[in-house]
A and B are shown apart, each in its own frame.
Chain A
């Protein structure tokens, strides 16, 4: 496979770079350069900027109202954005629920959500996991019972990412109690009576996770995505999408670039960490891993177009999430004595969003990010479970 770019794609890359130079707000870029998780407001503002530039849905096909770019161009766009410090477009909107609706949803749902997604106005809460059904989704117990033209939902969801800021929830609920896989995917208004959202604070002291309780929550049957009883199938295809983006090549690339910069800094005693051959060798290994993963992602994207049945996403998820953690561990090492400082996220900073604490610009965010990254080998199906899937599907064990 040849991954070198033809002149047209090179020109496209230049166009993206110019766009970023002109349109990416400096404060957004600065926050991500300092290693913080992007603020929701930043993501939404940036999505709107991309949209207004005439690039709605960079990873969406033209028939969905997207840019209709090739996989390679999508990849170039994401990579340039990440390196410039632009936030990633919302994964839930553009890679999970949007495609799900555009593929399986009714025309009414498509019309309702297409434009808001492209303009960056939706924020989705994913209601899949339950206290006793994490990586084992088949064990979930939330029920949706049809009464007239409404579903009545009862149950308890956990790890519902962004539920507290979401303007739309998507719930996986059991509509057929007889079948182990009798689930349906149903859209719920987070403000509907009977929905209670409680925060779960993560180990980095951040709040993105929630516990969401449904007590006799009513939602119109029009809000069913696709067919009743097909939720298992949809969830699987969607999680596979999530895993494909879990290789997170652009973000991994950005992290590694940052690590390289940190290691090249002159320390107090005049030496540089990068000159330690042991460190350099380990850094080189990460670079090689990244390169391999990047090619694997490109291959997966090409093959996806050709329709492979193998869960490549699992493979990418395992390697990508582990690369994330290894890079984080080495960043911590490279921080030297700045490691013992943590910095509050910008929105909580006493100095305000514009003011920065003392110390090198790369220091803030690294520690919080390091803590947060523990989750990468767990979410979207723990890596142990992904390895089982790989063993079963690729190796036929």
Chain B
């Protein structure tokens, strides 16, 4: 595909997604999702599947559209803007892991239904009581059998498959677990953002497919998830800025639009530069991933840190800009506020990724 073709394809993705969200991401639907313990918009997911969204980033030889992470990035930015919640990152990530695995059986069985959207996948790395999913897991794996648990993970309540990492005799092992089996228990509970369809997973002699081995390979899988998520965060943060700007122009106090007060103007610019820094980091990480630069996991970690900061800040200050209206259930800002924090927590904390970044960048205390 030539670069202008690719550019056009990305524009098409954005258009399509935006049109879809115009129909589905209405305040009423989004609020209804928050009101259930497991909020998952099946109708929106079906519509996304009909558009082929789960296939966008999957390579063509695996039945996907072959648009890679740039395609996924464009998609997730739009998803983030509309503050909808769709399990679109796990599918290409699981596909990557399946394609990279020496065992062809799981790929033969699951690749096609994942790409077609018939099956939903989730990524569950975080463990109860741990701040970092990047450290050695406690979930134990012996051969193809899992015992232990994973902390609440996005879409685990509705997924058919979970990608987890487990400890296999002192080494990290990436496993794909079919969730519909007696050895798997899902626990759901109302949370900060019910639209994420979180569930904690418990495994008792659950059967799973071993895919990849080693901390490095698993770190890269997580970095891929982090990078795609960064674009979702950037989309959300940009929507907050647009929302705050709109309100600042419309709302009047002391005889003028509040957007004329420097307290508000400077606040909005502080959102803007954080978003641009995050976007810069994320685009560079994407270029590095595509261009074969071995530093790409460090750049993906930088993108995640910048995107967390940008979205947290923009979501918080969007509420503040809206004044009392911002703390009402009826107004939209709190959807972003919830989402910002959830996306920051689901893949492990800022501290965990900071450590990953510094290690990848060679800034360890021990290193000479």
- Whether A and B touch directly in their complex, counting CB atoms under 8 A apart, is answered as yes
Q: Which residues of A pack against B, CB within 8 Å? A: 129, 132, 134-136, 138-139, 158-159, 200-203, 205, 209, 267-269, 273, 276, 278-279, 332-333, 336-337, 339-344, 357, 367, 371-372, 374-375, 377-379, 382-384, 387-388
**B-side interface mostly:** mixed
What residues on A are CB-neighbors of B328 within 8 Å? 200-203, 209
- Whether B351 lies near A276 (C-beta < 8 A) is yes
Known contacts A200-B328, A268-B138, A276-B351: A340-B198 contact under CB 8 Å:
yes
> In the complex, which of the residues B191, B253, B261, B319 has the most CB atoms of chain A within 10 Å of its own CB atom?
B253
B144 interfacial by beta-carbon distance below 8 Å: no
What are some 15 contacts across the A-B interface (CB < 8 A)? A132-B252, A134-B323, A202-B327, A202-B329, A268-B127, A268-B129, A276-B351, A278-B351, A336-B129, A340-B151, A340-B192, A367-B191, A374-B320, A375-B327, A387-B263
Known contacts A374-B319, A384-B264: A135-B253 contact under CB 8 Å:
yes
B75 interfacial by beta-carbon distance below 8 Å: no
What residues on B are CB-neighbors of A135 within 8 Å? 253, 323
B243 interfacial by beta-carbon distance below 8 Å: no
Known contacts A340-B152, A340-B198: A134-B130 contact under CB 8 Å:
no
Minimum C-beta distance from B339 to chain A (A): 12
Partner of B324, one of A129, A136, A278, A340: A129
- For window 316-368 of B, CB contacts with A under 8 Å fall at 316, 319-320, 323-324, 326-330, 333-334, 337-338, 341-342, 345, 349, 351
What residues on B are CB-neighbors of A332 within 8 Å? 341
Minimum C-beta distance from A336 to chain B (A): 6
| Binary contact readout B107-130 vs A (1 if CB under 8 angstroms, 0 otherwise) | 000000000000000000011111
Known contacts A268-B129, A337-B129, A341-B189: A203-B324 contact under CB 8 Å:
no
Number of B interface residues, CB 8 Å?
41
- Whether A159 lies near B128 (C-beta < 8 A) is no
What residues on B are CB-neighbors of A384 within 8 Å? 261, 263-264, 320
B219 interfacial by beta-carbon distance below 8 Å: no
What residues on A are CB-neighbors of B68 within 8 Å? none
Which residue of chain A has the shortest Cβ distance to B152 in the bound complex? A340
Minimum C-beta distance from A329 to chain B (A): 9
Which residue of chain B has the shortest Cβ distance to A332 in the bound complex? B341
> How far, in angstroms, from A333 to B341 measured CA to CA in the complex?
10
What residues on A are CB-neighbors of B192 within 8 Å? 339-340, 342, 367
> How far, in angstroms, from A278 to B358 measured CA to CA in the complex?
15
- Whether B128 lies near A377 (C-beta < 8 A) is no
What residues on A are CB-neighbors of B198 within 8 Å? 340
B36 interfacial by beta-carbon distance below 8 Å: no
With A136-B254, A201-B329, A375-B324 already in contact, 10 other A-B pairs whose C-beta atoms are closer than 8 Å: A135-B323, A200-B330, A203-B327, A268-B130, A279-B351, A333-B349, A339-B192, A340-B152, A341-B189, A371-B338
Minimum C-beta distance from B270 to chain A (A): 13
What residues on A are CB-neighbors of B341 within 8 Å? 332, 339
> How far, in angstroms, from A138 to B253 measured CA to CA in the complex?
9
What residues on B are CB-neighbors of A279 within 8 Å? 351
- Whether A378 lies near B324 (C-beta < 8 A) is yes
Which residue of chain A has the shortest Cβ distance to B341 in the bound complex? A332
B135 interfacial by beta-carbon distance below 8 Å: yes
Minimum C-beta distance from A326 to chain B (A): 11
Those 5 A-B pairs whose CB atoms lie nearest each other, nearest first? A268-B129, A201-B329, A203-B334, A337-B151, A384-B263
- Whether B326 lies near A267 (C-beta < 8 A) is no
B106 interfacial by beta-carbon distance below 8 Å: no
- Whether A269 lies near B129 (C-beta < 8 A) is yes
- Whether A201 lies near B330 (C-beta < 8 A) is yes
Minimum C-beta distance from B165 to chain A (A): 15
What residues on A are CB-neighbors of B345 within 8 Å? 339-340
- Whether A269 lies near B320 (C-beta < 8 A) is no
Minimum C-beta distance from B45 to chain A (A): 21
- Whether A136 lies near B130 (C-beta < 8 A) is no
